[in-house]
Structure 1
Amino acid sequence: MKKTKILAALAATMAVGATCAFAANPFADVPADSWAYKSVVTLANSGILQGVDGTHFQGNRNITRYEAAEITAKAMAHADRANAQQRAIINKLAHEFAGELNNLGVRVANLEDQVGTVKFSGTFKVDYNHKAASTRDYDVANYKGIKDDIKNNTHDHAMQPADWQSGETVSADKEQKYSNEGTYGEVKKNAGEYIETAKKAAVTGDASYSYTAQLTATAKVSKNVKANIGFKYKGTFNDAAGADKAYAHVNVANVQAKVADRVSVLAGRHTLTLGQGYIYDNVVDGVEAQVAADKVSVQAGYAKLKAKDFTDYKVGYVQARAAVSDVAGIGAYYGHVVVPNEPKDASTQVYGAFVQANVGKQVQALASYEKFRAYDSTAKQARDNSVARYGKVTYGKADFATPKSWDVWVDYLNADSFAFSVETGGVNGGTWREGDLADNIISWGIGADYIFAKNAKVQFKQSFASKLKYEPHAAVKTKVGEQTKVQLEFLF
């Protein structure tokens, strides 16, 4: 590599020091009429170039990558005096010689701390998801409601057909089931035939291919202030009209400022994850204070939820995490939810706790508890007291920075029927189950993660032994359709 080649990259715009109009030329082999004279003298007097023996530059001599890295390291030390164009050149050189700089003890990541720099990061995910249809059997012979309907000339207890969670909804027209004039035997026969017809007409499952792209830019505004802006784009592959349904939105737009030692404030749009994310793991607009000590971190804030159908909800929250030892950590959160048009005597809270532990060198365990509570102070009783319990055990560690690393895991979800719905982006945001596997469910799952290249991961997830926690009616028996998910994820 010619010395003049790297010099051109730096010196063409890198006037980091004072003008060299009256500066002394330290090199005997750089005449005043050389095209590189001004740049060489400027960089030499700035301490970036030292020459070969202190008196000769030897611009036509090939230099090693190690020598080029030394020049780049000195330029990095002066980057705070460079403009945006000059910093871009330094960044490019720093990444080119990252390995050599590391050997010199210079961290390329330090460039991110320079005022005016912009760092881009993002993810791209491709998903295959199959959710089998849930089927429901009706115990017609023991369904006494039919006999009562005929006797009372009413349809108040008429059976409802299955709500197919992963596809079309079967018609619930009661008049197609039976008439009030029929005998009980005829009613039972007609009801059975109707149910069998509905089963055959229903879909058997739902397979989809989708993709999600996320790009975030972080700018260093000043020594203690960073600005973040991010966009997410999501669409489907297998739908002919999928391109029309794809959408993009701004999911990050905030400013983060360090206001004291270990204390910072975040204001604007960001992702709020309460606990392990079962009840809420989605976008909000709000303000948050963050305190980070050696082993404890605390977040407190107030935000307006941005998940679909919850845009008028607000929450004030506080959550904390702590390392209780080298191998274990705990956390807890509490949130007061402001529900639109909620009566004055009603109160809604969410709260939860979790514990994580390393069980040996290769095994990690997680257990969490989260609750949604709506309380009527007038009646002095809870209108909703839903609980979700989640556990996961992982063997191995899939690290994006380590190709060929992997892990396997098994998890367990036991969740009541929640007021927040997964269809609106609320409950189960932080876990992978969907549809009727989201709540009112007891479900097991297995999975594996494999890093097939640096910053590239493939995941496999499969639910099994799933069943409803509460059946909608004693005469109904539901067989829950299981979920299969495969995902490719790339970081950049």
Structure 2
Amino acid sequence: YDSINKLAAAGVIEGYGDSTFGGDKLMTRYEMAQIVAKAMAKGANVDKLAAEFADELDNLGVRVANLEKKADNVKVTGEMRYHYVDNDGDVEGYKTELRSRIWVNGQINDDWKYTGMIENIQNLKDNAGNEDTKFQRAYVNGKLGGLAVQAGRYHAKWSEGNVYDNRFDGVQVAYGKDVKLVAGYGKAAQMNGVNDAATAKANAEDTYYAELSGKVDKLSLVAGYYNFENVKEAKDVDDTIWTVAANYAFDKNFKLGAMYLNGDKDKYDGDDDGFVVTASYKGAKAAKAGSWGLVAKYYDQGASTYIDHTMNGLADNKLFTSAEGFKGYSVAANYTFAKNIVGQVEWYDLEQKEGNKDAQTLWSQVVFTF
């Protein structure tokens, strides 16, 4: 606040003419060029900024309206991931693939924006050249009164991914900040990039969900309710899941969390509840080379407590179908080798809750973002 006031007092920034500076808005290149020009006039050393905005500075005052209209309305970003997984135990084998994603973000107006994502997955395990390209995201975000609205094909990660972590076709609204309520409706999607019959069981049709979250000092609390109709593991099977979770941040580096889950799946008599305990320390940041993090988890989840789990172990595989449930642990480490190049390694040791099969999984990836 003080810095903004100093720049305003010096005449470097002027705001939007309504006594505001629009701190939550994206700045256009033309607006930034205006600030650079005024800073240069004050004698500030902004050579790098002047070089970056040379074209805008050269044309400042010439065809201004046209420049402002075109500047930075659409932004394209992307990522490429090399991924390798090796399984042992009752299921053996490995998988390796290359995944590329291109994101497109467009500003519709001051209150609404569009996001789209195209994904290509190449199977590197054999020489058949198998690959799949899909339009995986297409949604809008905006405001209607006091509500934040999201609609289209977006990503849904519910209860830290212990219930569902996949794309979702629907609409959701959110209200509040310190205490936040999110509610939505739509259809749960098939697993990304996979078309085989085994994983098609992850689908569900009409789905309703709501999450209530809040924070008290260092303690974060979340409650979730999810109703899945016609889950595709068997015809006409419904599942209602509710969760409660608490996460405590001891300091800026170490966090400990616990979650309880309870499900009610039709035509199923197995274990219907479960819990997950998570401990995390630091975390790799793509923009900061040398940053790193560690995560450890223990799972004990009945078959009714998840639809499409976030984990990279075998919880959603033929070995551990959602008719059996699973328990076990995972440990993970991540590290930023250079700016925008992050590596991750995860180890899982899981077993069936209602059977005698077990599996160990070594999962790894390197992600390049641009």
Q: Same fold (TM over 0.5)?
A: yes
Q: Which amino acid aligns with 2:157?
A: T
Deviation sequence 1:260-314 (CA, Å, 0-9, x none): 24x2212211112221122221122111112242x23221111012213455611
Q: Which amino acid aligns with 2:173?
A: A
Matches within 5 A, 1:202-281: 205-241=92-128, 243-244=129-130, 246-261=131-146, 263-281=147-165
Q: For 1:364, which of 243, 250, 255 is the aligned residue?
A: 255
Deviation, 1:437, is 5.8
Q: Which amino acid aligns with 1:282?
A: N
Q: Which amino acid aligns with 1:404?
A: G
Matches within 5 A, 1:28-427: 64-65=47-48, 68=51, 82-83=65-66, 87-88=70-71, 117-134=73-90, 166=91, 205-241=92-128, 243-244=129-130, 246-261=131-146, 263-293=147-177, 295-307=178-190, 308-309=200-201, 313-325=205-217, 327-339=218-230, 348-374=239-265, 383=269, 386-418=272-304, 426-427=307-308
Deviation sequence 1:456-477 (CA, Å, 0-9, x none): 111111124x433223xxxxxx
CA pair 206-255 structure 1, distance change in 2 beyond 3 A: same
Q: Distance in 2 between matches of 1:384 and 1:76?
A: 70
Report the count of equivalent residues: 318
Q: Secondary structure, in 3 states, of the residue corresponding to 2:303?
A: coil
Q: Secondary structure, in 3 states, of the residue corresponding to 2:116?
A: strand
Contact 1:384–1:419, Cα closer than 8 Å, also in 2 = no
CA pair 238-354 structure 1, distance change in 2 beyond 3 A: same
CA pair 369-213 structure 1, distance change in 2 beyond 3 A: farther
CA pair 367-86 structure 1, distance change in 2 beyond 3 A: same
Q: Distance in 2 between matches of 1:47 and 1:367?
A: 48
Tell me the equivalent position of 1:190. none
Q: Which amino acid aligns with 2:187?
A: K
- List gaps (5 residues or longer) in structure 2: 1-33, 191-199
Q: Distance in 1 between matches of 2:335 and 2:35?
A: 47
CA pair 456-384 structure 1, distance change in 2 beyond 3 A: same
Q: Which amino acid aligns with 1:401?
A: A
Q: Which amino acid aligns with 2:66?
A: N
CA pair 419-400 structure 1, distance change in 2 beyond 3 A: closer
Deviation, 1:76, is 11
Deviation, 1:317, is 1.1
Contact 1:374–1:385, Cα closer than 8 Å, also in 2 = no
Contact 1:372–1:384, Cα closer than 8 Å, also in 2 = no
Contact 1:48–1:71, Cα closer than 8 Å, also in 2 = no
Tell me the equivalent position of 1:433. 313
* 1:485 counterpart = 2:363: yes
Deviation, 1:126, is 1.2
Deviation, 1:258, is 1.2
Contact 1:400–1:454, Cα closer than 8 Å, also in 2 = yes
Deviation sequence 1:392-415 (CA, Å, 0-9, x none): 212233222211011223211112
Contact 2:273–2:305, Cα closer than 8 Å, also in 1 = no
Query: What RMSD in Å do the two structures reach over aligned CA positions?
Result: 3.6
Q: Distance in 2 between matches of 1:79 and 1:447?
A: 54
Q: Secondary structure, in 3 states, of the residue corresponding to 1:431?
A: coil
Contact 1:418–1:427, Cα closer than 8 Å, also in 2 = no
Q: Distance in 2 between matches of 1:206 and 1:131?
A: 5
CA pair 481-76 structure 1, distance change in 2 beyond 3 A: farther
Once the two structures are aligned, what percentage of the paired residues are identical?
17
Deviation, 1:209, is 0.9
* 1:446 counterpart = 2:324: no
Q: Distance in 1 between matches of 2:63 and 2:170?
A: 33
Contact 2:241–2:305, Cα closer than 8 Å, also in 1 = no
Q: For 1:468, which of 347, 352, 359 is the aligned residue?
A: 352
Contact 1:210–1:234, Cα closer than 8 Å, also in 2 = yes
CA pair 437-363 structure 1, distance change in 2 beyond 3 A: farther
Deviates more, 1:220-229 or 1:303-312: 303-312
Q: Distance in 2 between matches of 1:87 and 1:299?
A: 34
- List gaps (5 residues or longer) in structure 1: 1-45, 54-62, 92-116, 135-165, 167-204, 377-381, 421-425, 472-477
Q: Which amino acid aligns with 1:451?
A: T
Deviation, 1:337, is 2.2
Point out the structure with the larger helix share: 1
CA pair 419-322 structure 1, distance change in 2 beyond 3 A: closer
Contact 2:239–2:304, Cα closer than 8 Å, also in 1 = no
Q: Which amino acid aligns with 1:467?
A: E
Q: Distance in 2 between matches of 1:300 and 1:75?
A: 49
Q: Which structure: larger Rg?
A: 1
CA pair 239-223 structure 1, distance change in 2 beyond 3 A: same
Deviation, 1:84, is 6.6
Q: Which amino acid aligns with 2:223?
A: A
Contact 1:412–1:443, Cα closer than 8 Å, also in 2 = yes
Q: Distance in 2 between matches of 1:347 and 1:448?
A: 36
Normalised by the size of structure 1, how large is the TM-score? Answer: 0.57
Q: Which amino acid aligns with 2:313?
A: R
Contact 2:341–2:366, Cα closer than 8 Å, also in 1 = yes
Deviation sequence 1:7-43 (CA, Å, 0-9, x none): xxxxxxxxxxxxxxxxxxxxxxxxxxxxxxxxxxxxx
Q: Distance in 2 between matches of 1:209 and 1:363?
A: 32
CA pair 352-447 structure 1, distance change in 2 beyond 3 A: same
